[in-house]
Structures are given as structure tokens and as C-alpha cells.
Amino acid sequence: PTVSAKHGIIEASLPSGESVAVYLYGATVTSWKANGQEQLFLSQKTHLDGSKPIRGGIPLVFPVFGPPPQNHVTSPLPQHGFARNSTWEFLGKSSSEAGKGDLAVKLDFGLSHTMLSEEFRKAWPYEFGLVYSVTLTKGALRTSLQVTNEGKENFEFQVLMHTYLSVEDISNIRVKNLESKTYIDKTRNATSHTESSPALAITGETDRVYQGLDPATPIIVSSASDDQPLFSITREALTDIVVWNPWIEKAKGMADFGPDEAYQNMICVEAGSVSSWQTLEAGDSWEGGQSIKSRL
Ligand code: TA6
């Protein structure tokens, strides 16, 4: 495996044609190629200069998902918290055997309270350490986050990996294994519903938080035309899945989302722990992650 670091971008590749690129800004994965083909969506109008969170790839949401609640310790933070708009450090890479003679290359990134901007440190005054690992193997990408409470008081957090998957045509994909699950529909005043479809089609703005899923049951993004799985996502310790597509109007309304019709080429399937709060006691650590397999 080769790894290169320049201009705040860490890249790694495997002889089998897999590659990954990670911006130190937000530790945001911006590219994952399997078999030489890009698997993630990245808006053509995304900022990449740190002026705004990257629109695409896998933005990292921590310590709060969505707009922070009122009268809460996270209230002063921006939407989705500070992890995706802070500059992380590259801690290093390691290579290992991934079985069947395949290689794995793991890139580690770190963010701690001492590295935060004054604004963010004041807004969320806890002593913490984050280690984000991005592991590339043949046909799969794993991202996992370890959260450590380095202070003397407990804190609570939410975490989510805001994965933008690249699809050829949104009308030809289905999302499977959500049937009978409870979800909060943010396009219908955050009301609670039960999923009735074994294969969810995306036919308009979709913004749903599916709750309490078995992390080992893969969420499948499949092709409707041949019922083949395109992506299969399993998780560890992340029991919620957010399904989001902005559709026509919201896509037009985001200045950094382009071209406007690109809503047809992406689906966000986001592994997280967001429907409640994880409490981390002083000195304790928590870890959670996702593994995305690509059919290609
Ligand atoms: O993915 C779910 C969501 O919370 C949507 O409601 C939408 O706001 C999306 O995240 C993008 O948020 P962002 O802050 O990146 O524009």
C-alpha cells in the first residue's frame, strides 16, 4: 500500500485498484475507489478550503446531530457539531493482512480539545480525544471513531457518519432491511412512523432517522433493475440509520450542492447514534463504526 500526504490530503491505495482520499479538514473522506471506480458522491460545488464543511464524501458528525437542541450544552455549536469543520491531524498508517491474501491499509486521524478553535472550545468545554480510523481493503471501506473522555466530568454526545453514496440514478435504487423499523420523518414535522416497505424507493425529499436497528443486519442499497446489491453497510455500536436525499428544491437551495440535478446521483445512508445521547464517564472510551461493501 502507498500513502501520500500533501496539501492537507492523505491518500492511500492498494495494488488491487482500491484507493481512498481523506482531507485533514474534518477528517473527511472525499474519495473511495473500488476496482478503480468512485463510490462516493462529492458535490462539484463543494468548498474544500475549510470555509464550510465538505458537501459529500463522509463528513463526520460529532458531538451533536442536526441543529443542536435548545437549553443544552451543545446549543452554541453549529449544525452537526464541530468535528467536520475542525482540522485533524494525521496520526499515521498501518498495513495488515485482510485475509485471503488481501491487504488492508488503515489511516488514523486525531482531534482533541486542545486542537479546537477558541469558539468551539468555549461552546463545548469538555476534555476529549477522538481517533478516527479509515480502513481500506479490497471492495470495502471501514470508518470507526473512538471517543475518549479525558476530563473529570461526564459528557454526552451523538455521532454519525454522513456518508454520501454515489448512484447512477436515484430512481433505480432501493434501500432494504428497513422494513418494520420505526423512523422519525423530518419532512413530516419529525413525526414517528413504521417502515412498511421491504425495499424503500426514493421518490421525493427524504429525511428519515430509522431507530434501534441491529447494527449487524446490513442495510442494502440495491439496483431496482436487477435487484443486485450496490452497497451493503454493517455497523458496530451505531444503532440508527439516516436516509437523506434533498430532491429538487432543497438541492437547488444549497449553494454548495451542484449541479442542481445531482440529487439524482447520490443517496445518503448515514450510520449513527443520534436518537439519544451516549454518556461517557470521566476516563472512559467509546467506539463505533461502519463497514461499507461495494459490489464493484
Ligand atoms: O442527513 C440528514 C441531515 O440532517 C438533513 O436534515 C440535512 O440537513 C443534511 O443532514 C445536510 O446537513 P448539512 O448541515 O450538511 O447541510
The residue count of the chain comes to: 296
Mean pLDDT of the chain, nearest integer: 97
Distance CA 77, CA 81 (A): 6
ipTM reported for the complex, 2 dp: 0.99
Known catalytic residues? 162, 270
Q: How confident is the model at residue 161 (pLDDT cuts 50, 70, 90)?
A: very high
CA–centroid distance, residue 114 to ligand 1 (Å): 27
For residue 128, the one-letter residue type is F
For residue 262, the one-letter residue type is A
Concatenating the DSSP letter of every residue in 260-295 gives GGGGGGEEEEEEEEEEEEEEE-TT-EEEEEEEEEE-
- Contact between 169 and 261 under an 8 Å Cβ cutoff? The reply is no
For residue 72, the one-letter residue type is H
pLDDT digits (tens, 9 = 90+) for 172-209: 999 999 999 999 999 999 999 999 999 999 999 999 99
pLDDT digits (tens, 9 = 90+) for 200-210: 999 999 999 99
Alpha carbon 176 to chain centroid, angstroms:
19
Q: How confident is the model at residue 87 (pLDDT cuts 50, 70, 90)?
A: very high
- Contact between 11 and 20 under an 8 Å Cβ cutoff? The reply is yes
Mean pLDDT calculated for residue range 236-248 = 98
Distance CA 141, CA 34 (A): 9
CA–centroid distance, residue 66 to ligand 1 (Å): 7
Nearest atom in ligand 1 to the alpha carbon of residue 78 is 14
Nearest atom in ligand 1 to the alpha carbon of residue 80 is 14
Percent of residues, the chain, with pLDDT higher than 70: 100
Nearest atom in ligand 1 to the alpha carbon of residue 79 is 14
Q: Is 44 annotated as a binding residue?
A: no
Ligand 1 contacts (CB < 6 A) are 53, 66, 79-80, 162, 186, 207, 242, 244, 268, 270
Does this model's pTM top 0.95? My answer is yes
Return the pLDDT at 113.
98
Return the pLDDT at 296.
66
Return the pLDDT at 2.
82
Return the pLDDT at 99.
79
Domains belonging to the chain, first-starting first, are 2-294 (2.70.98.10)
Distance CA 268, CA 79 (A): 17
CA–centroid distance, residue 266 to ligand 1 (Å): 14
Q: Is 79 annotated as a binding residue?
A: yes
Mean pLDDT calculated for residue range 267-293 = 98
Mean pLDDT calculated for residue range 66-85 = 97
- List the grid coordinates of 10: 492523505
pLDDT digits (tens, 9 = 90+) for 95-129: 988 878 889 999 999 999 999 999 999 999 999 99
Q: Is 84 annotated as a binding residue?
A: yes
Q: How far is CA 31 from CA 80, 164, 209, 288, in A?
A: 21, 10, 25, 21
